[in-house]
Every structure is written in structure tokens, then in C-alpha cells.
Structure 1
Amino acid sequence: MHGIAIGSSTIEEPTNMIKRAECLVDCKNTLGESVFCDPRDNCIYWTDIEQARIYRLDEIGRVHRFNLPQPAAFILPRRRPGFVLGFLDRIVSSNADMTQFDTLAVVEPDLPQTRVNDATVDHQGGIVFGTMDNRDWKPAGSIYRLDPSGRLEKLLNGITVSNGLAISADGAVLYLTDTRDGVIRRFSLTNGFANWRELTPFADRDIAPGAPDGAKLDVEGCYWSARAFGGCVVRISADGKLLEQIELDVKGPTCLAFGGPDMMTLYITTLRLRHTPEELEAAPTAGGLYTCRVGVPGLPVRLALL
């Protein structure tokens, strides 16, 4: 997630009160991303893409760091021990301590300007993920599905920066966004991935400040969107209305996750990229992991079967 141009627009006012998230871990990530609460150990995991590191926050507040052989755009839990990670040009599985990696799929070997980006686990245990143009900022990226058998299928092309992937509780709707144009789109999965079709757009870029980045859904069917360079996370109703806004004292939220015993604690990754020295001095916790209590649980975390 780089090169996001933020234009001026008319921002819709949320219908609920504005809350504020606080820094929980001052980890100074260059590009924090892909946060989730692991139901297997109740730890919070996230990645710093630029520094090729995975972070784990355990239940007693200790932070562990895992150095990777190359950057990982995403990390997802799986049914077996270990994780599924999105390296630059491939999807891999790892053991629990992330010292051994096995390639599951090579991605776009003929497109050296693209890299893997956002991902989510689907209801069958496969993963849906996207790529992005990391060099020319053209729509060279795509959306893919890697099914539990290891078969890789392209679902959609013409994407510049894939983000915001989330699947509804009943598995009937897939949400995604291209951060470059800022429109949050949705697709019907009623007839499966083989016959998916696009529905009307869910939300335009001007629904909130900044550009849409990572996202999750809650049990009421609302879509929570991290607004990169907008300094907030927003909750959007199932019919596309802005309901709630959570502000941060840094401008770069990138991804979010629900956690805690009641799934009502929000965790938010942030970045330090594209900040001037003056901005970093004014916002020293940029790149930190932020948190906030919310009033509705998030959806349970799904485990990949890869």
C-alpha cells in the first residue's frame, strides 16, 4: 500500500459519536498490516511488510518478533499448526515459529512489477487474495482464489492496489476495494466463485477521509474500513451508510481486527511510510498497534485449510 493520492471531497458525517483509539504497542512499523486475533492461542499477529517481520502480542502483553526471509504482505491462521503467508511473489505455509516455509503457489511470475497484497480466508478454507502494481501504479494487479486443494484461480483483473477483502457471515458476499480509486465493491458468491457476479458499489471514496485499506466485518453485517492517510477507522452499515468513526492521533491506519474474549476489542495497525520528518516528530507513535473498545463483536476468525 503505497502511492495513494488523497483528493479533496465531501465527507459524510457519521450518525454515531466519534471514538478515539489509543496506541497499545509502540512498535514503529514502517508498514504495519494484516492484523488478526488467532483463536488458537488468543495472540494478536501482524506484519511489518517493509521490515520483513511478523509481530505477536501474547495474552500477558509480551511482544515477540519473527524475522522473515522476505517481506510478507499478509499472515493468516490455518487449521494445522503454523500460518499461511503472502510473500512478494508466492503464497507459502509456515511452521508455528516461522522458520520453515513451503510454497503453495507462485503468483504472477511474468509480472515483476506486481506483488501480493491483501487476503482473507473464505468459508471453504481457501484464501482470496490480491496483487498490486508496486512500480508503475497501473491496474496490473488481480484478485485470486487459492482453494484448499492448492488450485490457483484468477477471479478479477484490472486492480492497482488490492485491499479491503472480507466475506459476509453467510458466505454470500465478497467485499474488496482498489485503494487507488477508493470504491468499495461487492460481489455475490451465492452461486460460488465459479459464477460470482458484481453487485452495485458498496461505498464511494468520499464516504470518509483517506483511502480504504484493510477491512473486517462485524456480526451485524457492517463493514469496518481502515482509512489510510485519513487517520480513522469507519463502520459502514450493510446498506452503505456511515455509522461510526474511530479517530487515531496518527494519519496512517492500514488494517484492523476484532479480538478479546467477546470479540469487541479493535486492533489497528498503522504505518510510518510517506511521513515527513516533521510529521513523525509530531506523531511519534506512528507505526504503532492501536486499540479501541467497540460496541459490537466482529465475525469469528476463519482458519485456512491449506
Structure 2
Amino acid sequence: MTLILFLVIPVYRHRPGIYKAWPRWTALVLACLLLTACQPRTPPSPNPPAPSEAKTSNQTTRTSPPASSRTSPASSPPTWTKPPALSADPRVHPDPLAVRDDHYPDQPVFFSQNHVSRYLLHQFLQGHFDLDFYLDSQLAPDEGTGFFILSQACQTALSYHLFSAFDVQNMYTKEDPSGRIQAFISLEYSQPKLDQMARQAAARFIRENPVPQEGFSDFYSERAYALKIHDFIARKVTYSPLGYNPELMIGMDKYQACQEAYNVLVAEDDTAVCAGYARAFALIAQYAGINCAWVYGNESEDLTES
């Protein structure tokens, strides 16, 4: 192509007659046209393959071209895993971690605290609150360590089970003749019917504000639904004066102290403290398939009850 351009222009330089009859700018235009005509044509690229789906029992992962080819790191969304699509059945507690269908032998032995937490949550979701199991000697070399693990694991499980109006009948550990630590726990809920009413109200919110049938497609759609739950609760209830003077809660049960999801979703006075707000939000979010837990703590720069 470059050779053609150099051949055309010298001809007009060495032949004055033609040069005068045919101006130089005309020659340049002709050269450009020749260059354009000689450009190689790129065949149309085939349609890119459609993203495929890899399905597992607990989640669906979409595979597609790398995100870096589409967005810059600064604009990339936070890490997000699509939760399983769940139905809001008020007869059972929501199960966003999909642990309800786990299987365990009688009196299982555990080697990590995380496995103890998962087992306790599994049992709580089944409505079983009178349990005993074993802790491996490497996990719990003595009864004191075993009790600490039991207590922490129970707290983690209850952060997903949400309801807190229970009495601890038993929670202790002991060493059996084989040297293993045996753990015992027994909880008794005081007003299970009120908790059932809270589940019904949470399920009603899901029916009136349907979740996509296949679950949330990305982080942004999940966040938008969570904001809808937040706004619903914020408009429905006001903060209880009890929250400004916690000493007044001494001697009250959880419902009187406005600390349960029932106080937000069902009770007619429409007042609650932080714990009630948080439990109601988490209950609706879990029915929507959002992985949400209740976290206990006092208000500070780093953590608040939420």
C-alpha cells in the first residue's frame, strides 16, 4: 500500500505536463482512495459464547468473561455469592445457610467450634433444644475449655436462629471415662406462639414484596431489597423509651423489654429497642434468602447491636 503511494506521487513530479493538468492535491486524494481500497477486511467476529451456569446444591455460580475486561477494579462490586432461592414458609424458621438437611449420628463427636455451631443451628431449626454431644480431646482438653466452646458455639447458632426469649435449663460439660468432654445444653422458649406470629408477619412481607423466583441476581439487587426491609421497619415502629434507660428492663421478659421480632412485626404499640429492630430485619431478610445474622454488642465506633 505504501509502495502505491510512492509510485503515484513521483509520476507527477517527473511529468510536468500531467502535473499541470492534474493538480497535486488530486493525486493525494487518489492515493488515499487507493490506500483505503487496499485495507484488509476483518471478518466479523462470531457471537461470543453465552455465559454458562454451574449449579450446585447450595448456590448458582455464573461464569463469564473476566470482570477486569468489563469494569475497572475501583468500580467492581463487593464479593457476592448468590444465595439459594428460598420459600417463606412461616411454619418453619428460615434457613439461609442450608443446614436444616444436614445429617448427624446420635451423640456426634466434633473437632472444631465451627462444626459445633453448625450442629446446634441444625438442631435449633428442627425445634430440638435438649442436646448432648462430644468434643474431641484436642479441641477441648478439659471441661473449662469445653464449656467455653459450647457457650460460644451456642451464641453463634442463636445469632441465626434469632429468637432470644428462652431460659437456659442446662448448659455444662463433663469428662467421660474415655477422656472426651461431653457437652449438654437445654433451652426452653417461653412464648413460642409469639415467635410463630413474628414468622407469619415476616412471611407476609415477602408475599407482598416478592423476591425474584430465581433469587437475587447480584449484590445490587440484594442490597436494594434489604433497603426495602429497612425502610418498612423504620416507618412502622418508633424507638422505645426503654432504650434510653436500660435499667428499666431489669426484671422484664424479652417481649416486655421490646427486644423481639414480635415487638416490631406484630405488637400493636409499634415500639422496639435495637435488638427488636435487628431481629425483625434479620428474620425478613432470611426469609428472602439473604444471609443475615443478629449480632450482639453495645453501640461504639466499631460495633452496634444490629
TM-score between the two structures when normalised by the length of structure 2: 0.24
**Higher RCO, 1 or 2 (CA under 8 Å, sep at least 6)?**
1
More strand, by proportion? 1
Structure number, greater radius of gyration: 2
